């Protein structure tokens, strides 16, 4: 038996197992309430899988200033999670920041973006007039200016803080579907979960047995294609909110209003529902840009999800955005936090150029 053990050791020494390291740069967030970046780090850093050879993700944080300095050259993939700091980049360095990201992908780097990261990769936001509004909000203008144009899509994205909607625009409905972020700022309350139709013919979902997947949406964009892309997922055919929307997820607009006799009541609920206008629109895309690959989602596959549940709203003497929020949930069943992690991992591996037969497993 000793000679067999010697032979095994000799063979393993002469033919060591091959490990491929995929280096990932994850854009940081300076806003502590945004959980998307640390979730991406948890999902990706150190993850291994084996298929003919061993693959391993190695992830680091990267800042906007490091991107400008050319640090992306050290990596195979850049991940831009759901973050809300586009306003940082509207300065003299913006064109250089865009140039570095475009060059990285054009020369063979991979790009994976969700929510805000999808907006950045797009050609920009659809004009307000095509979304039912008369003017850009400050947030929308910043987001539009920060777009780098590596995916031939326009983002169908509302973004207006509820204070400005009431005070500047004199219209609480101008918050649009971004109300699903602003009206409840907690990680377990913001957004909704919905079953999205998926494209089983694309490598990301190839082998997945269902044609729908439960994913978390946190007021991210629908993606309107104007060029050569593969659609990965679609919003459900029923709107999230509105007169003909889903009854369990519809919400009202709220008007900012001070009440001297009720010092803790800052908001009054309007009689009409917010209309979302996202039904049936594309929610995820894959494409090539130069030598590189790109995947973007308006949804958050890194976020925890739940089944069922119903939103309820109570207009009382203690209405405020923080704490419990302007809308709340009941009767939900949370699924394991890792429910959609395999989607993130397959996306990152695919944009890194890994063969579709050697992507991380569907779990």
pLDDT greater than 70 at residue 10: no
pLDDT greater than 80 at residue 86: no
pLDDT score, position 7: 40
pLDDT score, position 3: 41
Sign of CA dihedral 256, 261, 264, 268: negative
pLDDT greater than 60 at residue 359: yes
How does residue 91 score in pLDDT terms, banded at 50, 70 and 90?
low
pLDDT score, position 12: 39
CATH of the domain at 150: 3.40.50.880
Q: Which domain holds residue 61?
A: 20-235+280-303+337-358
Average pLDDT over residues 30-43: 80
123 vs 36, higher pLDDT: 123
Average pLDDT over residues 152-159: 97
pLDDT greater than 50 at residue 5: no
What is the count of structural domains for the chain?
1
Beta-bridge mates of residue 113: 80, 296
Residues whose CB is less than 8 angstroms from the CB of residue 93 and which lie 6 or more positions away in sequence, other chains included: 64, 68
* Residue with tokens 């307000």, as numbered in its chain: 128
Task: Give domain status of residue 13, yes or no.
Answer: no
pLDDT score, position 15: 43
The chain-wide mean pLDDT, for the chain, equals 90
> 310-315 — which CB contacts under 8 Å span 24+ positions?
310/248, 311/192, 311/248, 311/249, 311/250, 311/251, 313/251, 313/252, 313/269, 315/267, 315/268, 315/269
Specify whether the CB–CB gap between 76 and 352 falls below 8 A: yes
Task: Give domain status of residue 229, yes or no.
Answer: yes
Task: Give domain status of residue 298, yes or no.
Answer: yes
pLDDT score, position 185: 84
Task: Give domain status of residue 325, yes or no.
Answer: no
Task: Give domain status of residue 7, yes or no.
Answer: no
pLDDT greater than 90 at residue 120: yes
How does residue 309 score in pLDDT terms, banded at 50, 70 and 90?
very high
pTM of the predicted model as reported, rounded to 2 decimal places: 0.92
Select the highest-mean-pLDDT range: 27-31, 82-86, 226-230.
226-230
Per cent of the chain over pLDDT 90 is 77
Per cent of the chain over pLDDT 70 is 90
Task: Give domain status of residue 244, yes or no.
Answer: no
Sign of CA dihedral 107, 112, 116, 122: positive
Task: Give domain status of residue 250, yes or no.
Answer: no
How does residue 17 score in pLDDT terms, banded at 50, 70 and 90?
low
Which of 219-228, 251-260, 270-279, 329-338 is least confident? 251-260
How does residue 6 score in pLDDT terms, banded at 50, 70 and 90?
very low
How does residue 54 score in pLDDT terms, banded at 50, 70 and 90?
very high
Angle, CA of 171, 172 and 177, to the nearest 5°: 120
Task: Give domain status of residue 4, yes or no.
Answer: no
Average pLDDT over residues 248-260: 91
In angstroms, rounded to a whole number, what is the distance separating the alpha carbons of residues 173 and 270? 9
* Residue with tokens 């699903």, as numbered in its chain: 180
pLDDT greater than 80 at residue 31: no
Give the helix/strand (H/E) hosting 218: none
């Amino acid at each position: 038996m000793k000679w067999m053990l010697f032979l095994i050791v000799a063979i393993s020494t002469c033919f060591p197992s091959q490990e491929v390291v995929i280096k990932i740069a994850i854009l940081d967030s300076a806003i502590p309430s945004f959980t998307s970046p640390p979730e991406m780090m948890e999902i990706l850093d150190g993850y291994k899988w084996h298929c003919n050879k061993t693959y391993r993700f190695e992830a680091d944080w990267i800042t906007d200033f490091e991107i400008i300095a050319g640090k992306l050259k050290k990596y195979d993939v850049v991940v831009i999670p759901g973050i809300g700091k586009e306003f940082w980049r509207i300065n003299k360095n913006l064109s250089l920041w865009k140039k570095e990201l475009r060059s990285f992908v054009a020369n063979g780097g991979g790009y994976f973006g969700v929510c805000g990261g999808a907006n950045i990769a797009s050609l920009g936001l659809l004009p307000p007039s095509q979304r039912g509004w008369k003017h850009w909000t400050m947030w929308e203008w910043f987001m539009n200016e920060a777009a780098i144009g590596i995916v031939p899509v326009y983002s169908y994205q509302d973004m207006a803080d509820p204070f400005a909607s009431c005070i500047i625009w004199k219209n609480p409905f101008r918050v649009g579907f971004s109300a699903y972020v602003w009206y409840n700022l907690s990680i377990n309350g913001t957004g909704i979960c919905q079953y999205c139709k998926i494209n089983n013919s694309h490598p990301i979902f190839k082998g997945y047995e269902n044609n729908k997947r439960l994913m978390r949406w946190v007021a991210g964009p629908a993606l309107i294609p104007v060029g050569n892309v593969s659609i990965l997922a679609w919003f459900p055919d029923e709107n999230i909110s509105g007169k003909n929307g889903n009854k369990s997820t519809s919400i009202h607009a709220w008007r900012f209003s001070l009440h001297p006799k009720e010092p803790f009541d800052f908001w009054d609920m309007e009689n009409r529902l917010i209309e979302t206008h996202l039904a049936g629109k594309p929610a995820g895309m894959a494409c090539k840009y130069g030598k590189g690959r790109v995947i973007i989602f308006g949804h958050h596959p890194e976020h925890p999800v739940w089944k069922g549940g119903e939103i309820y709203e109570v207009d009382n003497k203690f209405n405020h955005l923080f704490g419990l929020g302007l809308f709340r949930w009941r009767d939900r069943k949370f699924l394991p936090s890792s429910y959609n992690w395999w989607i993130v991992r397959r996306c990152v591996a695919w944009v890194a150029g890994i063969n579709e037969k050697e992507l991380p497993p569907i779990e």
